[in-house]
Structure 1
Amino acid sequence: MKIIQHVTVKQVLTEKSKQTLLDSFSEKMEQAKRECDQLTFQLKKLEKTNISNEMRQQYKKEIEKRKDKLKILGFQIEQVHTLPLGSELKEKEVQALLEVNVGDDWSDFLEERTIIVTDGFVTEIR
């Protein structure tokens, strides 16, 4: 019989992965800034016409979402800078298909499984 089990994938922080993370966060920050600027521009353009207060509030809410995202991304960048090399960061969870046979030790299937990835290569399976 086959069962599905959740497996945690962790990334070991190296210089290369640290730079990749920082680049990713920076790219997301730039995107959020562009979206914020675009929404602000559209709001100013629409305010010249008669727009409802509800629509104005919706634009302001979306702008605030982007600003909050910028704050979170800034915090994440700070955290990456403070983490020592060799730290394990949870990247994601995947599902694994395991074969269960009569006579297997059930406690082996209850243990949480983890895949450790270093610079894109699997280095350990726990």
Structure 2
Amino acid sequence: MEIIKKVTVKQILTEKSKTRLKEQFLSRQYQLNKEIQQLEFVLHKKLKENKNNLKYQTSLKESFSREVQKRKDRIRQTEFKLGQLDELELGSELREGTIQMIERIAEGDNWEEIMKGTEIVIKDGIVHEIRQGGLADD
């Protein structure tokens, strides 16, 4: 029988991965700023089209304001992550996320051993280490 099991993926921070992460964060910030500008442009266009409907304009402003605020919050989160990245030492392990793997089990297998956590450690895009037997993450 086969089961699906969660596996934690971690990345070892190197100069190359640090640069790549920094570029991803800056690219994300740029994209969010472009989205804010686009939202503001669309809002002004819609307000002009509906200048006689004040109730609709108010609703529109509130809706666009919420969307802009969401993006500003994401920009702040990205700035925080950039700051944290600068503080991290090379060789630090960063949690990338989780993936699912299929594991074959059979009668007589030790269930506790099967359910112990597995980690895949990546270094510069290459599987560096596979760790068995840690605590399972949920």
Q: Which residue of 1 aligns with 2:42?
A: 42
The 3-state SS of whatever aligns with 1:21 is: helix
Q: Which residue of 1 aligns with 2:76?
A: 71
Identity over aligned residues, as a percent?
Answer: 39
Post-superposition CA distance 1:18-72 (Å, at most 9, x none)? 0110000110000000010111122223333425111111111111111111111
Q: Which runs of 4+ in 1 moved over 6 A?
A: none
Instruction: Supply the distance in 1 between the matched residues of 2:35 and 2:28 (Cα, whole angstroms).
Output: 11
The 3-state SS of whatever aligns with 2:63 is: helix
The 3-state SS of whatever aligns with 1:114 is: strand
- Segment drifting more, 96-105 vs 40-49: 40-49
Answer yes or no: is the 8 Å Cα contact 2:10–2:94 preserved in 1: yes
What are structure 1's unaligned runs of at least 5 residues? Answer: none
The one of the two structures with greater contact order (alpha-carbon pairs below 8 A, sep at least 6) is: 1
Q: Which residue of 1 aligns with 2:117?
A: 112
What are structure 2's unaligned runs of at least 5 residues? Answer: 132-138
Give the total of aligned pairs. 126
- Letter of the 1:3 counterpart: I
TM-score by length of 1: 0.93
Instruction: Supply the distance in 2 between the matched residues of 1:23 and 1:5 (Cα, whole angstroms).
Output: 32
What RMSD over aligned residues (CA atoms) do the two structures have, in Å? Answer: 1.2
Post-superposition CA distance 1:84-124 (Å, at most 9, x none)? 11111111211111111222222211211100000011111
Matching residue within 78, 88, 91 for 1:86:
91
